[in-house]
């Protein structure tokens, strides 16, 4: 082979390499993934971010105009039609956590995260197409009325919940304090049960604690709201001042439906530092690790950490439980958690409405996606009806037993 031929071959190879590099970078940023198989030879290209679709909205406006002109019950409320159209668009995604919230519902949801609102005090979710109670909040009218985590809501005010969205359900259940909400509840192996709940003003501290004696502190986190980090800091200060010795912490996350992800990261930093709390994964597969970065954590040297979980522990609760299990050698006690492994971005609009849109997955430090699967406890203990009737907390009792052995 001549020198000229060698140079030409080198130049072609070099140019191809540059083309593949920049082509891969460009298409990777555009959401494409390339998968190359050698035997048999195959190149698979997947676009995970198809943002270049051309949609003709002429049909939408034709239907809009027909309703305005021909619908029987006039005048038609154009604002509600627009809200309904947006809600329907998001419902078509099949993701119960991506929702549009009209102004009154958006305010109620925001108020609940800020620790005050009017309603029954229960977190709702969708599982296998059914509207369910993720968890009744501590001290809420829902809990006082006997509502339980996992209850299926069959009817609201006598109307079936088949096909209902979480947003619609919230709108039907929320209401002024003193009014009554009537729910028909379904439970496994039981006949449907009608429960009347008197709505109230829901204002609950998200973090409370108790000295259980023998160096054991019990801490209850009921949600991860706007005030949770501040409440947590106050509780930690009280524990440090009031307890002479601290050998074990029982962290109760049962019935905690989650909330702000950053709250879980903040609290995890009380137990360990410079280790991953969760991994956020985007639609294109990009990953961001969120470590606990707090320099001073009061509980880093506590020898015994026990976390109580149940089917109502979801989202940020699962983030914290998994991180403590991995990095603080915490023992999880109870039953399998809810299994919500997605992250929503909340945006508010000028008219008071808002949107919660699923933007990422979250993975445990071990890169496990718990969505629809939940987290299995290290020690499985299910509360029986007899336990509930006798107010016997077998899960807490087991944690106390293990704490006393440290």
For 286, phi then psi, to 5°, come to -70, 140
Q: Is 206 noted as a catalytic residue in this protein?
A: no
For residue 254, give the nearest of 161, 388, 356 by alpha carbon: 388
Which pair of structure tokens corresponds to residue 17?
A: 């390499």
For residue 112, give the nearest of 134, 132, 131, 130 by alpha carbon: 134
Please tell me the distance from the alpha carbon of residue 35 to that of residue 20, in angstroms, as a whole number.
14
Return the number of other C-beta atoms located less than 10 Å from residue 158's C-beta: 9
For 181, phi then psi, to 5°, come to -110, 130
For residue 123, give the nearest of 255, 225, 262 by alpha carbon: 255
Q: Evaluate whether 109 touches 158 at the Cβ level (below 8 Å).
A: no
Please tell me the distance from the alpha carbon of residue 249 to that of residue 236, in angstroms, as a whole number.
11
What does each C-alpha distance from 272 to 38, 85, 251, 269 come to in angstroms? 44, 46, 15, 5
Please tell me the distance from the alpha carbon of residue 164 to that of residue 170, in angstroms, as a whole number.
10
What does each C-alpha distance from 60 to 13, 64, 77, 82, 83 come to in angstroms? 51, 6, 17, 11, 14
Return the number of other C-beta atoms located less than 10 Å from residue 242's C-beta: 10
Q: Is 315 noted as a catalytic residue in this protein?
A: yes
Return the number of other C-beta atoms located less than 10 Å from residue 378's C-beta: 14
Q: Evaluate whether 101 touches 356 at the Cβ level (below 8 Å).
A: yes
Q: Is 140 noted as a catalytic residue in this protein?
A: no
Tell me the residue ranges of DSSP E strands in 270-370.
276-281, 287-291, 304-309, 331-334, 342-348, 354-363
The active-site residue out of 315, 317, 325, 353 is 315
The active-site residue out of 273, 298, 344, 404 is 344
The active-site residue out of 340, 353, 361, 395 is 340
Please tell me the distance from the alpha carbon of residue 107 to that of residue 342, in angstroms, as a whole number.
22
DSSP 8-state code for residue 303: S
Catalytic residues: 315, 340, 344
């Amino acid at each position: 082979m001549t020198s000229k031929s060698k140079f030409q071959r080198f130049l072609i190879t070099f140019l191809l390499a540059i083309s593949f590099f920049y082509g891969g970078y460009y298409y990777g940023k555009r959401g494409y993934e390339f998968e190359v198989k050698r035997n048999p030879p195959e190149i698979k290209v997947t676009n995970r971010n198809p943002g270049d679709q051309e949609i003709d909205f002429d049909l939408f406006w034709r239907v809009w105009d027909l309703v305005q002109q021909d619908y029987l019950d006039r005048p038609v409320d154009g604002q509600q039609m627009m809200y309904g159209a947006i809600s329907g668009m998001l419902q078509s995604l099949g993701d119960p956590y991506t929702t549009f919230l009209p102004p009154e519902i958006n305010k109620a949801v925001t108020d609940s995260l800020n620790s005050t609102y009017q309603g029954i005090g229960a977190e709702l979710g969708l599982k296998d197409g059914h509207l369910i109670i993720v968890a009744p909040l501590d001290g809420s009218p829902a809990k006082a009325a006997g509502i339980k985590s996992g209850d299926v809501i069959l009817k609201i005010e006598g109307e079936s919940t088949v096909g209902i969205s979480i947003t619609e359900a919230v709108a039907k259940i929320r209401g002024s304090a003193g009014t009554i909400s009537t729910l028909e509840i379904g439970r496994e192996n039981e006949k449907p049960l009608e429960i009347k709940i008197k709505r109230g003003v829901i204002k609950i501290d998200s973090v409370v604690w108790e000295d259980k004696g023998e160096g054991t502190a019990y801490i209850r986190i009921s949600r991860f709201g706007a005030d949770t980090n501040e409440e947590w800091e106050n509780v930690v200060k009280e524990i440090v001042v009031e307890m002479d010795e601290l050998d074990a912490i029982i962290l109760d996350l049962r019935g905690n439906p989650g909330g702000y992800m950053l709250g879980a990261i903040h609290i995890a930093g009380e137990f360990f530092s410079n280790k991953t709390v969760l991994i956020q994964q985007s639609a294109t597969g990009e990953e961001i690790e969120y470590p606990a970065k707090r320099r001073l954590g009061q509980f880093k040297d506590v020898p015994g950490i026990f976390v109580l979980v149940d089917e109502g522990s979801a989202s940020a609760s699962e983030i914290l439980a998994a991180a403590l299990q991995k990095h603080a050698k915490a023992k999880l006690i109870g039953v399998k958690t809810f299994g919500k492994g997605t992250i929503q971005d909340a945006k508010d609009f000028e008219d008071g409405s808002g949107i919660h849109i699923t933007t990422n997955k979250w993975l445990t430090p071990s890169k496990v996606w718990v969505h629809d699967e939940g987290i299995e406890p290290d020690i499985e203990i299910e509360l029986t009806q007899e336990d509930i009737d006798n107010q016997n907390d077998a899960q807490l009792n087991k944690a106390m037993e293990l704490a006393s052995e440290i």
